Structures are given as C-alpha cells and as structure tokens.
Structure 1
Amino acid sequence: MTDQQIKELLQAADPARGQVDDQLDAQAYDDLRKIVGTTRRRGKRATYGRLAMTGLAGALVVVVLVAQPWAGSSEEGGPGTAHAGTPPLLKYTPQDKRPAKEQLLDFAARVRALPAEVPSGPVLRLTTKGWYLVSGDMTESYIEPQAATAYVVDRQIRSLQDGQLGDPIGVYWPNELSADPAVLKNQLAYAHPGNSPDSFLAALGDLQAEANPGPKLRAALMTLLADQPGITADGTVVDRFGRRGVAFSLVSDGGGLPSKKTVIFDVKTGVVLGREEMLTEDAGKLNVPIPSVISYTSYLSRDYLPALPK
C-alpha cells in the first residue's frame, strides 16, 4: 500500500472529519506508515492472506479512527476523538517461578514423550478464528473476529471461500520437517530467513496454518522458542475460547513499535492454541490505549477427513 493510499483511507474513514481540522496529524500518519510498511511475515506468502483473510474484503474499516464494540474514548482527545476498538486483555497467572527457558525445556521433554499421533485420513482440516488490527500490508480493523477454514492435502493448502474451495497453494515447507531442533531451525529459515525472534515466530505461526505438528515436532519448536533471547513466561491462561493454556512471550519492535508477542500452548499436549500480539509501551499517535491487543489468532481445530469437501 502506498503512502497516498494510506492517507486516503484514513481521511475517508475519519468520523470526526468536518468537526476538527482535516489535516492528517503528521506523527499519527508516520506511526501508521511504519506499521503498515513492516512485513509481518518474512516468507513468500501471507498466512493471513491464505487462511484468516479469506472472504473478508467487505469487512474492512480503517483502524485508529473507527470505534468498535471494544472501543473506548480518549480522555485527552477533543471532539471527534475515539480509540480504535481492541479485544480485552487475557489474564495470565504466573505459577512457575523458574526461568522461562527452563520451563519450556521441561515442557518440551514431557511433550516429546507423548505417543505419536497417526492421521485418520489424507486431508487435514484446519479451523481458526482471529482479529487483526494490522494484517499483511494494510491497516485493518474488523468488527468481529474472523473465522477461516482450510484443507491441506498432497502438500497443498486450499481455503474455503464462500462455501467453495479456493485454488491450491503450495505449503511453505516442501519436505518433511525434522524433530531435531538444530535441523528444524534451518528448515524453518527456508520460508523465513534470518535469525531473529520475529522470523521464528512468523515461521511457527505459518506452520500452525498448514500442518498438524506431532509431539516430537512440537517439542522441537518449544526447544527453539526456549533459545530465543528475551523469552519470558506469562503463566497459565484461559484463552479466548475457554481452553486452558500456558503462555510464553517475546518483546520486539519488529512491527515498528514495541510489542509483546505471545504463544499459548495447551497445558497437557503442547499443541499451539493461539498467538497474540500486544502493544505494551507506546502506541505513538495511533490512538489506542496501552496496553492494547493488536492481533490474535486462535487455532480451534485440526482434524482429518477421507476426502476434500465437494
């Protein structure tokens, strides 16, 4: 998206236009441009575009200026000022006082010992639900969380679009992924080059959107997460769909502003239940409160079918 397109979208969606000066605040525009201009995934395709963004073209409104069901008003703003609506924060309960790395490695060992999971059919069905304040190369805000369904067969993924299967798209990783963390690290870099925490989290997220990692692969992912600099343990949490999990987070400014990126695992199986991203220090002039959730993706189900739906 070009700078001019961003400006036009913001001006067109401003509910306060005509009440206050129409000149777009320079700092707000600059903050938005930084986030919009940052690639959220470092691979060749956008996961949200393949899965979570399916069939959402009619649901877009520009963030920052539009109040949502979660919206609040700014105490410092004048006429026409409104906070963009963001989801409520999850409540995390710290229980284990050990360092996050030690907790993750212990968790990985328990998950690695779980019995192998045998697919019950050739077609993997994945369902997700998510909300995205920033998604892909556009700034977008949705009134309701968006649901998506995709099917994976023969290393191709097909999204369900208006009740019809979309065109097949090749998965990110053409070969079987290794449960050896050292080998897996290099394999993940195939689609997400670089050695940064953001690259790893992007790869982890994309893997959830096209595969059903077994216990040994889940354990390897936990081991790699444990090695990320700055990893912290948030404790136990009940996710947005009532599932009990345990959460670990990293803080980075890879999105243009400092944000906390959280991965939630099922407490027993180590399956990734979801990912969240939250602004924790500075929203710039984006007119959202601190802290604010700016995206979440919940992985609701992974099951197998005998054939693709017709």
Structure 2
Amino acid sequence: MSDELDLLRAADPAPAGEGPWRDRPLDARAERGLNRLLHSRRTRRAGRRLMLRAEAAVLALFAVLAFTFSDAGSSPAVAAPVALVVHDAAPPLSLDALARSAEARARTAGAADGPHRGSHLQSWYMSMESGPDAAPPVTVPEERITRWNADGSGSELVVATDPRHPGRPVIHDDHGRWRTVSDGKVLHRKSYPAGSAAQHGGLTARTKPPTDPEALRAHLAQLYGGADGTSTTPQLLLALSSFRQEWTPGPRETAAIVRMLADADGLRPAGTVIDRLGRRGQAYVYDDPDGPDGASDATRQMVILDPRSGQLLGLEITFTKDQPDFKITAGEVMSYEAWLP
C-alpha cells in the first residue's frame, strides 16, 4: 500500500495548502496523470478489490484537484500554439538509425555523464470544458524547472512565460478564474534543504532509470503505468513524458529511450521540424484513432528527437477530428512539452 500512496503523492497536481478547489472537469495534464495511476498497479500482488477502491478514491481526488476551470472570463492573452509543420523534403531518419547513433555516443560517455534527477520543461496544456455553455478552450504556457543536488537539497520554480511571444502577457489561473500576468511572472518558487530529495516524488523519483531498453520499458511500466508489453504506443509515450518530468537522462539513458521507441509499434518517421524553442528535430508520429487515454477523441502524437544525439526535445498531441462538445476543431494542439537540458 505504501507504493500506491507514493504514486498518489507524486501525481497530486495541486499544492496541499492552496485552493479553493471545486469540482471541475479534468484538464489534459490531470487526465494523463489519472491514466497513469489507473494503469500503474493492476498486475501487482493480491488485493484486487483493495486496488479498485483505491482507483475510485483517485477518481474522486482528481475531480477535486484538477486544473480545469469553469469560470473562464476573457479570452487568452496569447493564442494557442499551431501544430508544428513537418518538412519531408529530405529522406526521413529512421528510429533504428538514430538508435544506433545514440548507442555509439553512449559508449563514449564518461562516469559523470549519468542521469540527474530533475527537469526543465516548457509546456502548453489545453484546458477545455464541454456543454452548451462551456467557455472556449484555453492554452496555458508555463516553464517549470526542478533541480535536486547530491546532498538531497533542491529547488522548484514555475514561471508564466511563452517563448514564442517574449514580453507579451501570459494567461494564468487565479483560483479558478483566468487572468493575464506579465511575461516571466513567478508562479511558484520553493527551496528544499539537504536530505529533502527522498521525501519528494515517491518511488518514481527515487529509482534511477536503467540503461537497457527492455529494462527501461519495464521500469516505466512499474513506476508510471501504461508501458508494459501488452499496452499501446500512446500509453508508452505518456509514461515517457512522466519519466522525463522526473529525470534528465544522460547519453546511456537516451540511447535506451531511442531504442525503446524504435521497437514500439506504429511510430513512423515524418520528417524534420523546427520546435517551439527554435531547435531542429526529427519527428516521429503515431496516429491514434482512440486518443492517448483510450477516449473517443482521435489524436496524433508526435515525438521530436535531436537528430545528432537522440535526445528527447518535445512531445506534441493534436486532435485529428473536430470535437464540437469542447469547441475544438481538427488540427488544434491538445498539449505540447518542450524539454531542455
């Protein structure tokens, strides 16, 4: 049971001391976190009835804590991102070829080139409501930096910013109501003293990732859910996103990630893209008729990798058909995550 409690603590999207939190629909980030929880411990030891009760509790928890807001007022200060354009003039780089290149780099990596706990993420998440009186979808841009040191000290920083529009106001939530804040507004800042790392993030953050592709896939299945041998490629990509929010991989872990993706079903090379941070990457696409969480909304998931190192640069999910109940048209971006070193 302690493992499940660790998962709940790690997935809680809201600080315990903030609120008020009303019963609202789930946004994309919360839905993905819930999906990871509901797939995470189904194959573990006896106690299935207990696990079902725990899953029901998780549903109730996310209904209260989700970051989708029903009092949206004015329109966003910055427009939602347009789906990235893939350029396919040059022959696409296969995942197998990129994996071989990443593996060669990994063999020359030194002892100090290992992974480090923490991440640097620039994200755009769409918040949406359904129903005749629903407000239009709103995309919230944020930058999040988490760092942990060898002595267990660390820091968290969340800033409202959109690098596509430097200096312009940014949409932000103020306890369930939309408002605009200045570019670079600090939304959350916290420092942790030495020895704090073991108390934050639970099992997902305390377990160093393996460097073997099959072992890494099993690692994702155990700690994040949705990545075992019987699951789908979209679930694997969601688990990879969760892992990347906890860890910044080194060359050896990167090689394992690329090889794992090369062995996954349905990911096809699409061409080159320039991501939202101006970086050139190789795009690999999975068209999912049922959506990444098994829902009825058809989506396309795009993985963007550095063509030289295989480093994960970004993950984009777009809708491939209209969603009238949510005032969404095909081609709109559901979420985008850009990863930095």
Q: TM-score, normalised by structure 2?
A: 0.59
Residue 210 (structure 1) shift? 1.9
Give the AA of the match of 2:76.
Q
- Gap change, CA 1:92 and 1:35, over 3 Å in 2: same
Distance 1:261 1:180 in 2: 24
Q: Say yes or no: does 1:180 pair with 2:206.
A: no
- CA separation of 1:113/1:259 partners in 2, compared to 1, >3 Å: closer, same or farther? same
CA gap of 1:110–1:40, structure 2 versus 1, over 3 A, is: farther
Identify which of 265, 270, 279 aligns with 1:243: 279
The SS at the match of 1:209 is helix
Partners of 2:244 and 2:28 lie apart in 1 by: 27
Q: SS at 1:145's partner residue?
A: strand
Q: CA deviation at 1:164?
A: 2.0
Q: 1:38 to 1:214 in 2, by over 3 A?
A: closer
Q: How does 1:157-168 map to 2 (within 5 A)?
A: 159-160=156-157, 162-165=188-191, 168=200
Structure 1 position 152, deviation (Å)? 2.7
**Secondary structure class of the residue paired with 1:159:** strand
CA–CA separation in structure 1 for the residues paired with 2:206 and 2:250: 17
| Structure-2 separation of matches of 1:44 and 1:151 | 28
Do structure 1's residue 169 and structure 2's residue 166 form an aligned pair? no
Identity of aligned residues (%): 23
Q: Which whole-Å CA distance do the structure 2 matches of 1:36 and 1:160 have between them?
A: 20
Out of 202, 221, 224, which is 1:189 matched to?
Answer: 221
SS state of the match for residue 290, structure 1?
A: coil
Question: Does residue 293 of the first structure (1) align with residue 327 of the second (2)?
Answer: no
Deviations 1:144-165 (A, max 9, x none): 5111110134689753363322
CA contact (8 A) 1:248 1:264 kept: yes
Which amino acid in structure 2 is aligned with residue 150 of structure 1? Answer: T
Letter in 1 for 2:236: F
RMSD: 4.0
Which of 298, 311, 314 pairs up with 1:258? Answer: 298
When residues 156 and 219 of structure 1 are mapped into structure 2, their CA distance, relative to the original with a 3 A threshold, is farther
CA distance in 2, matches of 1:237, 1:196: 25
Q: Is the 8 A contact 2:115 2:253 kept in 1?
A: no
1:197-223 C-alpha deviation (Å, 9 max, x unpaired): 232112211222122212232122112
Q: Give 1:92-103 correspondences, 5 Å limit.
A: 92-95=86-89, 97=91, 103=94
Partner of 1:220: 256
Q: So what's the TM-score if we normalise by structure 1?
A: 0.64
Contact residue 277 and residue 294 of structure 1 kept, 8 A: yes
Ranges in structure 1 where 5+ consecutive residues have no aligned partner: 10-31, 46-56, 71-84, 303-310
Q: 2: CA distance between counterparts of 1:268 and 1:259?
A: 28
Look up the equivalent residue of 1:293 and give its one-letter code.
Answer: V
Does 1:105 pair with 2:96?
Answer: yes
- The gaps in structure 2 that reach 5 residues or longer are 1-21, 40-64, 129-134, 159-187, 193-198
Q: What CA distance in whole angstroms lies between the structure 1 residues aligned with 2:216 and 2:116?
A: 24
Q: CA deviation at 1:279?
A: 0.3
**Deviation of residue 269 (structure 1)?**
1.4
Contact 1:112 1:219 in 2 (8 A): yes
Seen in structure 2, the aligned counterparts of structure 1 residues 123 and 35 have a Cα distance that, compared at 3 Å, is closer
